[in-house]
Amino acid sequence: MLRKIFLVLSLLFYLSGLAYAQGVEITPLYSAGQTQTSSQNNAGIPEGPFSQSQTSQQSQSGISSEPSVSQFQQQNQGSQTNPFARSQQTAPQSQYSNPSVSQFQQQTLPEQNKLNQAQQEMQSSLLNGKTSTTITNPALTPLSKPSAFEEFISGSLPSSVSVKNLKQFGYNLFISPPSTFAPLMSVPVGPNYIIGPNDQIKIDVWGSINENLTLTVNRDGNINIPGVGVVSVAGLKFSELKGVIQNAFSKYYKNFNLNITMGSLRTMTIYVVGYAAHPGSYTVSSLSTLINALFACGGPSKIGSMRNIEVKRDGKTITHFDMYDFLIYGDTTGNIRLQPGDVIYIPPIGPEVAIAGAVKDPAIYELKGRTSILALIEMAGGLQSFAFTGRVQVYRIVDHQVRMVFEDSLKDLRNLETLKKHPEANFIVHGGDLVKIFSVPEELNTVKLEGAVAMPGSFAIKPNVTTLKTVIDRAGGLLYYASDKAEITRTSITQEGPKVERFYVNLAKALKDDPKDNIKLEIGDYIFVRTIPNWHPYEYVYIGGQVKYPGVYPITPGERLSSVLERAGGYTKDAYLRGAVFTRASVQKIQQQSIDLMINRLQQQLLASNAQTASTAVSSTTAQAAQVTLANAQALIASLRSVKASGRVTIDLAPIRILKGSSEDIPLENGDSLYIPVRNDVVNVVGAVMSPGSYVYNPHYTWKDYIEMAGGYESYADTKDVYVYRANGSAVKVSHGLVSWNPYKDRWEFAAFAKEDNRLWPGDTIIVPQKLQEFPWLRNIKDITQILMNIAVTAGVAIHLY
């Protein structure tokens, strides 16, 4: 049974949702100052320009969620479009049960072997940082891998030529042969099919005699036709069979018609020897060809030849088959039909040469006779459209002593006339050669145009010909807020080094083709079109909830909160100012960095502690228990990494006339969001109490009264660290007795001074954490409480461990 062990609550900000990871549950501390109606989402915010997509449902305690930090977009899409909205997804919930140590006490191996195995598994988990394995489907790999041309166009093609993934050409054909290569037993036989023992012959006769006969050729090669006698048919071609049988019938009958077809065909035994993947004897159909037999045996091995496969019959070699002709050109000239007892011999592979780089099928190819560089490129599918013909590099083994490199050009191979004049360009490749074909180098004859133009970017030019006006026209012209001045930076190459000069032109005159300002550009020029002074695009904030005119408002630099609230028509009569939720993007970024740093610190301590436990284990039970502890720690880290900072800033709103000029009347930033909910007259109690839930607000009740309403403390409750999470995002630790310790002010305080802090308001949440001492896997981590508290403070979450 799952056992709740720990609850740590944050003080400040809002969390953007729920996150679960192997039984570690992170629950958002929702703002309770909001009500949920049929027209509102879980955050209590009406669906509209600033709503957030959520899949989580309202918790059992009745606490509703807060709106999230908004993401700013530059263009206003209208009153029904939120330029700051972002989508949030909630991972499905899962649970992780911690098996007790007693589960590992049944031992079927010697004690020391189990200990060693457990320690090895523990070390592997620590090194890998994970306990699960992802299995990918290899069948999808060819589809997902981009082609060389796709890489070239996208700019991801490496400038160097890689030889890492070169494979021998053609051998992958036999890895998973398609079933369509198998001979079909039901297809009509051809006229050259040779009749042999065990073949079935179907004879249909009509006219003066009516017979339907199915006869099998016996081992002597004969068939016995009733009323006709024995007819020898073995060795006949199918085209000759009808004439022989018709002559036999003609000796006894006249005025008849005859039709001959084949029934089930015989099987035969052939032999595959030499350097085959699986040499041996094979029983195949009498329709089988050489290619069918090669697929049956798995083809040549990696040291078997693809280019000189022999078929031997009656001690004589009757054909030499080149598999490359079939694979490259589809030529099946040597693909003969096999006969019983045929021997297929696969000799050792011949000389090999590798070709890599900008060819269509880079691979390792087997040579057959003298092979020129042009023939090799043709075998590899030809040059890619981006191949550089000015260079070919060949690595060659000389006299089995040394490997040398030489280079040549492919330019003379482009046409027959040039090749006739320079036949030496089509040099012969040797076994062991590695040929590299390079891609064309990139030479950018461009300038860069940035600033207040419609389409900034890089533009191709003709040096000292293309003018500034031409480039600006290609960029779509100037924007309406462009200045008349443009800055041009030009770098000149000198023997002393690069020389940088900057000069300014008048764009108005340049666009009128004034030769003084409409200058001719050089490669590498950087043109910056200035905006008018003090120009900046509109910035926006969102005001939502209980104001008269909610929506997205543009702001001016330095505009304050009270100003935008006045523009929004002020508060409605149902506005609950204590529950206001103010979020800021810049704050969210800082909070997230803080969360990530604290999680990394916690992960290092947890892994170090578990590694020490595993290395000092004296029994398999202890080592396996350490593995369970590691799984719990990893689940906690994974869950904490799903926590995202909310960017919430605690703010105490007041009536606008009081807000003006106060410290709460802050200057607004682009992307700020303020949501004002309606009053929700409940107080929530969560954590280590008997019955967590929401209870009607009573101004005369204290936090202790609400805990009593929730059934009182659980046995494992940490009664000294009870907190109240305010509707405005702040949090306070309640005081006990006459004197209590304030950890935030680092001092002892009398209860009389904390009376206002202990007072409850509608929408507040009382948090009762659990005692940390019950978790042995967390107890030894330095400052674990402080780390978890800081993470919770920054994100606004309650963390439950199971």
Q: What is the pLDDT of residues 218-242, one digit of tens each?
A: 988 999 999 889 999 998 988 899 9
pLDDT, average across residues 374-395: 89
CA 474 vs. chain centroid, Å, equals 37
* 498-543 pLDDT tens trace: 899 999 999 999 999 998 999 999 999 999 999 998 887 788 999 9
Confidence of residue 147 (pLDDT cuts 50, 70, 90): low
For the stretch 733-790, pLDDT in tens is: 776 555 555 555 566 555 545 555 578 889 899 988 887 655 555 555 545 555 555 5
Q: pLDDT per residue over 86-109, tens digit each?
A: 333 333 333 333 333 333 333 333
C-alpha span between 547 and 568 (Å, rounded) = 6
Closest C-alpha among 760, 757, 797, 761 to residue 680: 761
pLDDT of residue 172: 81
Where are the strands (E) in 465-605, listed by range?
482-494, 497-506, 526-531, 539-545, 551-555, 581-583
The DSSP code for 359 is: B
What single-letter DSSP state applies at residue 412? G
- Statement: residue 82 has pLDDT above 50: no
Distance CA 68, CA 584 (A): 10
- The share of the chain scoring above pLDDT 70, in percent, equals 69
- CA-nearest of 345, 336, 332 to 290 is 336
- How far lies 2's CA from each of 272, 323, 692, 749, 797, in Å? 64, 65, 17, 39, 21
The pLDDT assigned to 443 comes to: 80
The C-alpha atoms of residue 569 and residue 131 are separated, in whole angstroms, by 56
Of the candidates 183, 33, 81, the one whose C-alpha atom is nearest the C-alpha of residue 580 is: 33
- Is 90 exceeded by the pLDDT of residue 628? no
Distance, in Å, from the CA atom of 637 to the CA atom of 595, rounded to the nearest integer, reads: 12
Give the DSSP letter string of 225-272: ETTTEEEE-TT-BHHHHHHHHHHHHHTT--SEEEEEEE-SPPEEEEEE
Q: What is the pLDDT of residues 11-47, one digit of tens each?
A: 333 333 333 333 333 344 443 333 333 333 433 333 3
* Longest CA span, the chain: 133
Task: Give the per-residue pLDDT at 775.
Answer: 53
Q: DSSP of 382-395, one letter per residue?
A: -B-TTEEEEEEEEE
C-alpha 582/C-alpha 250 separation (Å) is 108
Q: What angle do CA 66, 70, 73 make, to 5 degrees?
A: 160
CA-closest candidate to residue 659, choices 731, 582, 737, 756: 582
Question: What dihedral do alpha carbons 615, 617, 621, 624 form, nearest 10°?
Answer: -20
Least confident piece of the model among 142-151, 342-351, 555-564, 655-664: 142-151
Question: What pLDDT shows up at residue 141?
Answer: 43
pLDDT value of residue 187: 62
Q: For residue 488, what are the β-bridge partners?
A: 503, 527
Burial class of residue 333 (count of CB atoms within 10 Å of its CB; 0-12, 13-18, 19+) = exposed
Least confident of 144-153, 196-205, 273-282: 144-153
User: In this predicted model, what pLDDT tens digit does every residue of 259-292 receive, in sequence order?
Assistant: 998 888 888 889 999 999 999 999 888 888 899 8
Mean pLDDT of the chain: 76
Whether residue 482 has pLDDT greater than 60: yes
- Would you state the pLDDT for residue 479? 94
Q: Where residue 78 falls among pLDDT bands split at 50, 70, 90?
A: very low
pLDDT computed for residue 186 by the predictor: 58
- Read off the pLDDT band of 630 (50, 70, 90): confident
DSSP 161-186: PP-TT--BTTGGGGTS--GGGSPPSS
- Residue 325: DSSP 8-state: I
Reported as a pLDDT band with limits 50, 70 and 90, residue 551 is very high
Host H or E run for residue 345: strand 343-346
Q: Per residue in 636-659, pLDDT tens?
A: 788 778 878 888 888 889 999 999
